[in-house]
Amino acid sequence: MTFKRKAIATAVLFATAGASQAADINFSATLSGQYTNNSETPYFEETVEGFGLGENEIAVSGFIDKNFYGKLTGVLVQHGDKVELEIEEAFVQAVDIGGGVGIRAGRFLSNVGYLNSRHIHQDAFTRRPAMYQAFFGKHYFDDGIRANYILPTDIYANFGVEVLAGGKLAQGHEVKNPNVTNVFAKFGDDFNESHSWQLGATVMLNQAGAAELGHEAHIEPQADEHGHEEHGHNALASGKKMYVLDGVYKWSPQGNNKYQQLTISGEYILADDIFDIHEHEEHEEHGEEEHHDEHGYDNHQAWYASAVYKFLPSWSAGIRYGELTMVNGHMDGEEAHLTEGKLKETEAMISYHASHNSVITLQYTHQNGVNWEHDHVNMQPNNMIMLQYKMNLGDHGAHAF
């Protein structure tokens, strides 16, 4: 389906279904499981060795009346031997404001980047890239409000702002709610009937995004009060300012993706103002010399690029490569010691689609990098093999572009 067809179909759905009765409620579920084998401990994420649950989702949605739409989504997530229920979405959205204006309030998926606004079960790959694991706790959903405006232009142009609680992105600080403000823009169109594109940009202002340069400020999972490592909930690194760029290109003959489709996508993120150095600047004000690391590292960066090709109605294959560069630091007296570490990921997958509602994916992931705690010492590479199924029950709306 071309970009314009997808956008028109979504608009018609909301415009016509808004007149539905409150009794028209949709129930759906996504069932997911996997087998995982790692040669080493994966970077920045928890995986259950052997058989385990994927992200199993239960959703209830529908039009409350002609003015409001609502959705509630719960996700069962496995952490070690425990299975936890997370409320991923619980929002209401005004649908009859008119003039291209939209308002959403409650808990929802942030519109930062490309993948984040999609449910994980919609991904072509079995896992999110490293930049999502590190900067968004794999999947960034939060409590707050979003307002957006779709311009009445020939191309799709969507501008919006989100004001969010931001606790998941705080770097060890006391969080003042609200804490995060996102300003985003999305543009998209069709080159012709077979070729479509979308570009996006987001500026994220995170008041508690800077980590303190303490005795040990390592970029690694933190332990709870029981001594267990926490994974997959909160971001491991952030910054007071984060800039995200994303782009997607799709090709399918005459816009019919039933038999063939090529999707090329990528994202880039820059996290700036990553350390809180106010107390160290005070020394400089009192005539004391302030020492900085000789390398001058002052930001985190990451990117990935992927290509997925549906070469037969029931088969698709894809590759993805990404790099994540982060800074670790600690104070030695009045001197800041900062070291830069890099992680590289190469992934390949092949999927069998029995229908629109079921997919089985085999994926290979290779990770290698250098250690943040030692001066650029190569880490032991990790090789991950994952076999995963994802099955949908009930009504599922059309996926975003």
Residue 279: give its domain's CATH number: 2.40.160.10
Which whole number is the average pLDDT over 160-176? 85
Residue 295 lies in a domain: yes
Q: How far apart are CA 102 and CA 146, in angstroms?
A: 8
Number of domains in the chain: 1
Report the amino acid identity of residue 395.
D
Q: How confident is the model at residue 7 (pLDDT cuts 50, 70, 90)?
A: low
User: Taking 70 as the threshold, does the pLDDT of residue 95 lie above it?
Assistant: yes
Greater confidence, 11 or 75? 75
Confidence of residue 290 (pLDDT cuts 50, 70, 90): very low
User: What is the pLDDT at residue 335?
Assistant: 64
- d(CA 45, CA 321) in angstroms, rounded, equals 17
**Averaged pLDDT for residues 153-158:** 94
75 lies in some domain: yes
Residue 129 to residue 235: CA distance in whole angstroms? 14
Least confident of 26-30, 245-249, 294-298: 294-298
For residues 340 and 160, the model is more confident at: 160
In a domain, 226, yes or no: no
Indicate if the pLDDT at residue 299 is higher than 80.
yes
Whether 348 and 374 have beta carbons less than 8 Å apart is answered as no
State what percent of residues in the chain have pLDDT above 90.
Answer: 51
For 350-375, the pLDDT digits (tens) are: 999 998 899 999 999 999 887 655 55
Structure tokens belonging to residue 61: 């949605």
pLDDT mean over 250-259: 89
How high is the pLDDT of residue 177?
Answer: 82
pLDDT of residue 397: 66
In this prediction, residue 281 has a pLDDT band, given cuts at 50, 70 and 90, of very low
Q: Average pLDDT, stretch 25-35? A: 94
For residue 79, give its domain range: 3-219+231-394
21 pLDDT above the threshold of 60: no
> CA 249 to CA 244: how far, in whole Å?
17
Give the contacts of 207 (CB within 8 A, at least 6 positions apart).
166, 176, 179, 180, 240
Give me the pLDDT at residue 2, please: 67
Residue 182 lies inside a defined structural domain of this protein: yes
Confidence of residue 198 (pLDDT cuts 50, 70, 90): very high
In a domain, 224, yes or no: no
Does residue 271 lie within any of the structural domains?
A: yes
Residue 235 lies in a domain: yes
| Exposed/middle/buried for residue 312 (C-beta within 10 Å: 0-12, 13-18, 19+) | exposed
**Residue 109 has which token pair?**
């998926």
Residue 97 has pLDDT above 90, yes or no: no
**What's the pLDDT band for 106 if we cut at 50, 70, 90?**
very high
pLDDT for the residue 183: 97
Q: Using H for helix, E for strand and C for coil, what is the string for the chain?
A: CCHHHHHHHHHHHHHHHCCCCCCCEEEEEEEEEEEEEECCCCCCCCCCCEEEECCEEEEEEEECCCCEEEEEEEEEEEECCEEEEEEEEEEEEECCCCCCEEEEEEEEECCCCCHHHCCHHHCCCCCCCHHHHHHCCCCCEEEEEEEEEECCCCCEEEEEEEEECCHHHCCCCCCCCCCEEEEEEEEEEECCCCEEEEEEEEEEEECCCCEECCCCECCCCCECCCCCECCCCCCCCCCCEEEEEEEEEEECHHHCCCCCEEEEEEEEEEEECCEECHHHHHHHHCCCCCECCCCCCCEEEEEEEEEEEEEECCEEEEEEEEEEEEEEEEEECCEEEEEEEEEEEEEEEEEEEEECCEEEEEEEEEEEEECCCCCCCECCCEEEEEEEEEEEEECCCCCCC
**CA–CA gap between residue 212 and residue 286 (Å, rounded):** 21
User: What's the whole-number mean pLDDT along residues 166-185?
Assistant: 85
Q: What is the mean pLDDT of the chain?
A: 82
**pLDDT confidence of residue 172:** 67
Residue 399 lies in a domain: no
| pTM for this predicted structure | 0.85
In this model, does residue 222 exceed pLDDT 50?
A: no
Long-range interactions of 59-62: CB distance < 8 A, separation 24+:
59/26, 59/27, 59/28, 59/29, 59/89, 60/25, 60/26, 60/27, 61/25, 61/26, 61/28, 61/397, 62/20, 62/22, 62/24, 62/25, 62/26
What pLDDT shows up at residue 92? 97
Count CB atoms within 10 A of the CB of residue 246.
22
Torsion of CA 116, 187, 201, 234, to 10 degrees: -10
Give the mean pLDDT of 282-300.
51
The pLDDT of residue 171 is 77
The pLDDT > 70 percentage for the chain reads 78
Please, are residues 310 and 316 in contact by the beta-carbon 8 Å criterion? yes
